[in-house]
Structures are given as C-alpha cells and as structure tokens.
Amino acid sequence: MDERELEQRLRKLGEEWRVAPEPPLDRMWARIEGRIHAAPGGGWRWTRRFLPLAAMLVLGFGIGQLVPSLLRSPAEPGTGPLASAPSPDGVPVQEAVNAPFVGVAANYLERVTALLVTLAAQSAESRRGESVEYSTAQARDLLVTTRLMMDAPEPLDPRLRVLLEDLELVLAQIVQLPSRPSAPDVSLIDQALDQRDVLPRLRVFLAEHNPSLP
Amino acid sequence: MDDKELIAAVQAGEREAARRLYDRHAARVYRLIYRMTGDAGLAEEYTQDTFVKVFNRLSQFRGDSAFTTWLHSVAMSAVLTGMRKLRRLRTRETGLLDAETVAAATPDDDPHLRERLRAELERLPVRLRLPVVLHDVEGFTHREIAGILGVPEGTSKARLSEGRARLRVALASVAAER
C-alpha cells in the first residue's frame, strides 16, 4: 500500500469512523453556564441582575417520605438497583444498600426547600424596600450536593434528573448574588424561575409521587 | 460579527455573544473530541470542559493565533487530560485497556482491510494518532496542528509520517492477502 492509497483510505475512513451523533448543544450550554457561574468570581456580568428565587413554600411538606420513590424510575417499577428484596433480617436488601444515598437526598431536598423559603421571604422584604443580606455559603454547599446527586450511580427518575439540572443552574445563580442585592435585582427573581418552570414542575412531580400531598 | 468582535463582546459581559461564539464552534469541537474518544458521554463532558476553560481564560487570548486554533488546543488538552485520568482509573480497576489491546491485536478479528485500518489507527500511540487523525481524517493543516498540539510544524510532519509508516507496515500483510 503506497502513501497515496493510505491517505485516501484514511480520508474515507473519516466518513464512517467514530462519526459523532448530533451534539446536545443546549444541554451542554446549560452545564457550561452553570459551571461558569459557580466558579469563584465567575459568571457573565448580566447574571448579577438575575436573582432566581421563588416561593417554594409547599415543598418542605413530606419530602422525606417521597425520596425513595423519587429515586426510582417509574418505567421500571420493582426492578433495577433500587428494587427491594427481603434480606434475612427482614430489611429489603436494596433499601439497606441505598439507605445512605436516600438519606442524603432527603436531607438535600429539605435544605433546598429551607433555603428557598428563606430567600423568598427575604425577597418579599426587599420588595418592600427593606434592606436584606444573602448568605451564599449554603447555596454553594447545596450546589455541590446537587452535583454529587447528579453523578451518583443510583438510577434517578429522568424527570428528577432534569429537575436537578435546573436546580443546579438556579443554585449556581444564587451563589452569584451580591450580599446586598438591589431592588431591580429582586424584581427579576420570579422571572428567572418562571423561565425554567421549576416550581410547577416540582409540584407536578411531587404530586404524582405522593397523591396525599395538597 | 467575526470571532474577534464576539470575543470582545464576551469580555464586555455580553452573554448573548458568548452563546453565539459557542454556537459557532461547539459542534466542530464536539465532533473532533468524539473522534478522539469514540464516546458520546466523554465528548459531551470534554466539550463542556473546553468551553468552560475558554470562557474563563478568554482574557488570556491575545489573538496571536486564530481563535479556532486556540480553542482546539484547549480541546485537545481537555481530551488528553481526561483520557489519562480514565486510563489510570480503568487500569487500576479492571485492566480493561490491556484486554482491549490484546483483542485488537488479533488479526483474525478484523479480516477486512478497512476494519484493520480502523483497529490499527486506534492502536497507534496518541502522539502519532493525533497528527494522523487531525491531518488525514479531519483535514487540518500542519500549521493548524502545530498550533493545536503546541509543537513545531516539523514535528507535526514527522509524527504524521511515522504514524502513516506504522499503519502501512501493519496493513501490509492484510493487503498482500487480498
């Protein structure tokens, strides 16, 4: 095989060797933005105008008991790594195996709820012209937990995964809040969350997993 | 708006310009990384790494080279760093890479020349495979490859030549059988 033939074959190989699928541009962009915002001192300048907070007051109710079902894909009831099988001591094996993860997830959702409730209250104060201070330390901590959950080996409900991705972006933006945001910043809070429909989706999701919720 | 104007706009804090710059180049970066890794998940991850680094370091881009050259050099760096980590992890955990290498080295597994070429290309050492893929498969010039890999043009040419030579030797027996 001479040089020219090899060259031709390599070029032809390029048409079928490791041909990439359609790149998920929007998804990658969302992640890129989230990471840039989360970096210390990072973020575009415009992001400082967006304060994505909202009144997610109802979400604290009953979160702990919802978490196991949130972690299991509805398409695979009773199967997969989270399916339960009784152990000799009567404790479902997978429940025991995943208990630490479920605990972390429950704790995470409770803390996210608490943070957003607090921030929502502070936003209302700010709208009334009162000066408020934000602490971003907790949001930063929750952001790390969000990413750990997204990377966890346990299977997640696909919609929960998408929700976590959006929460990641919301938290990443909260991290960027100045300690004393101006009133115009606060007026954009609802707008930023509305864009992602986080609250309605959370409500629908939680209602589907626990019909006893209001 | 050309790249230079978009970069200036991004540096001025315009988010829309950042998105336009990303839209203009992301697909090619993704395809190139996929070509290097053969894995959609890794291509996605390394493409994100690339753009995060690029946007974070945009102020360091002096414009001495084309933006695309700089962008692709960051992408290659992300790929090589990521693959090194992956290789260490896999080697430590399962010895998977060794198993793959042995399998690919068995001639009977790839009776056809095309399949054999593919296998031999993947077996080339990275320092030789990169110039071959970038030049012969992706169509980059030696000047661009030199910028991307951070080596002199002569080195790019020499490595391409060595890579091709190894491929020809490896394929000689298959070609003779045809």
Q: What is the pLDDT of residues A158-172, one digit of tens each?
A: 777 777 877 777 777
Contact residues on chain A for B18, CB-CB shorter than 8 A: 44
Please name the member of B47, B55, B138 whose beta carbon is closest to the beta carbon of A28.
Answer: B47
Q: How far apart are CA B67 and CA B151, in angstroms?
A: 17
Q: How far apart are CA A71 and CA B178, in angstroms?
A: 56
Sorting pLDDT into bands at 50, 70 and 90, what band is A95? Answer: very low
Note whether A31 contacts B48, CB cutoff 8 Å.
yes
Contact B83, B37 (CB under 8 A): yes
Among the listed ranges A44-48, B25-29, B38-42, B117-121, which one has the minimum average pLDDT value? A44-48
Note whether A13 contacts B172, CB cutoff 8 Å.
no
Instruction: Output B95 or A112, whichever has higher pLDDT.
Output: A112
* C-beta atoms surrounding B150 within 10 Å: 10
Instruction: Output B168 or A69, whichever has higher pLDDT.
Output: B168
How confident is the model at residue A22, as a pLDDT?
A: 93
Note whether B34 contacts A20, CB cutoff 8 Å.
yes
Those residues of chain A whose CB sits closer than 8 Å to some CB in chain B are 1, 3, 6-7, 9-11, 13-14, 17-21, 23-25, 27-29, 31-32, 35-36, 39, 42, 44-47
Q: What is the pLDDT of residues A126-162, one digit of tens each?
A: 666 666 566 677 777 877 888 777 777 667 777 777 7
| Closest-approach residue (CA) in chain B for A5 | B168
Contact residues on chain A for B112, CB-CB shorter than 8 A: none
Q: DSSP character for B156?
A: H
Note whether A32 contacts B55, CB cutoff 8 Å.
yes
How confident is the model at residue A45, as a pLDDT?
A: 47
Contact residues on chain A for B43, CB-CB shorter than 8 A: 20, 23
Beta strands in chain A (DSSP E): none
CA dihedral A119→A124→A130→A135, nearest 10 degrees, is 0
Judged against a pLDDT cut of 90, whether residue B75 lies above it is answered with yes
Sorting pLDDT into bands at 50, 70 and 90, what band is A68? Answer: low
How confident is the model at residue A190, as a pLDDT?
A: 54
Alpha carbon distances (Å) from A39 to A33, A176, A179, B56? 10, 9, 17, 9
Contact residues on chain B for A24, CB-CB shorter than 8 A: 44
Judged against a pLDDT cut of 70, whether residue A188 lies above it is answered with no
Judged against a pLDDT cut of 80, whether residue A44 lies above it is answered with no
How confident is the model at residue B132, as a pLDDT?
A: 93
* Residue B110, helix vs strand vs coil: coil
Contact residues on chain A for B21, CB-CB shorter than 8 A: none
Note whether A6 contacts B43, CB cutoff 8 Å.
no
How confident is the model at residue A60, as a pLDDT?
A: 43
How confident is the model at residue A42, as a pLDDT?
A: 57
Q: Which residues pair with A87 in a beta bridge?
A: none
Note whether A1 contacts B175, CB cutoff 8 Å.
yes
Which token pair is A137? 């330390």
* Residue A92, helix vs strand vs coil: strand
List own/partner pairs for B135-140 with CB under 8 A and 24 or more apart: B135/B160, B136/A7, B136/A10, B136/A11, B136/A14, B136/B160, B136/B164, B137/A10, B137/A11, B137/A13, B137/A14, B137/A17, B137/B35, B138/A14, B138/B32, B138/B35
Mean of the pLDDT values across residues B113-139? 88
Judged against a pLDDT cut of 80, whether residue A212 lies above it is answered with no
Q: DSSP character for B95?
A: -
Judged against a pLDDT cut of 50, whether residue A214 lies above it is answered with no
Please name the member of A21, A23, A35 whose beta carbon is closest to the beta carbon of B26.
Answer: A23
How confident is the model at residue A102, as a pLDDT?
A: 57
Nearest to A180 by CA among A34, A51, A45, A46: A51
Helices (H) and strands (E) in chain B, counts: 9, 0
Judged against a pLDDT cut of 70, whether residue B19 lies above it is answered with yes
End-to-end CA distance of chain B: 53
How confident is the model at residue B15, as a pLDDT?
A: 85
Judged against a pLDDT cut of 90, whether residue B22 lies above it is answered with yes
Note whether A17 contacts B15, CB cutoff 8 Å.
no
Note whether B168 contacts A46, CB cutoff 8 Å.
no
| Closest-approach residue (CA) in chain B for A4 | B164
Judged against a pLDDT cut of 70, whether residue B17 lies above it is answered with yes
Note whether B56 contacts A29, CB cutoff 8 Å.
no
Please name the member of B26, B35, B55 whose beta carbon is closest to the beta carbon of A25.
Answer: B26
Q: How far apart are CA B58 and CA B22, in angstroms?
A: 13
Note whether A10 contacts B121, CB cutoff 8 Å.
yes
Instruction: Output A176 or B29, whichever has higher pLDDT.
Output: B29
Dihedral sign for Cα A120, A125, A127, A130, please: negative
Q: For A153, phi and psi rounded to 5 degrees?
A: -70, -20
How many inter-chain contacts (A to B, CB under 8 Å) are there? 93
Q: What is the pTM (predicted TM-score) of this model?
A: 0.52
Contact residues on chain A for B114, CB-CB shorter than 8 A: 9, 13
Mean of the pLDDT values across residues B158-171? 92
Q: How far apart are CA B85 and CA B67, in angstroms?
A: 27
How confident is the model at residue B52, as a pLDDT?
A: 92
Burial A15-35 (b: 16+ CB within 10 A, else e): eebbebeebbeeebbbbbbbb
Note whether B117 contacts A10, CB cutoff 8 Å.
yes
Question: Which alpha helices (H) appear in B67-125, and where do they start and end?
Answer: 67-93, 96-104, 113-123
Q: DSSP character for B135?
A: I
Burial of A48 (0-12, 13-18, 19+ CB in 10 A): middle
How confident is the model at residue B116, as a pLDDT?
A: 86
Mean of the pLDDT values across residues B86-91? 66
Q: For B75, phi and psi rounded to 5 degrees?
A: -65, -45
Note whether B136 contacts A11, CB cutoff 8 Å.
yes
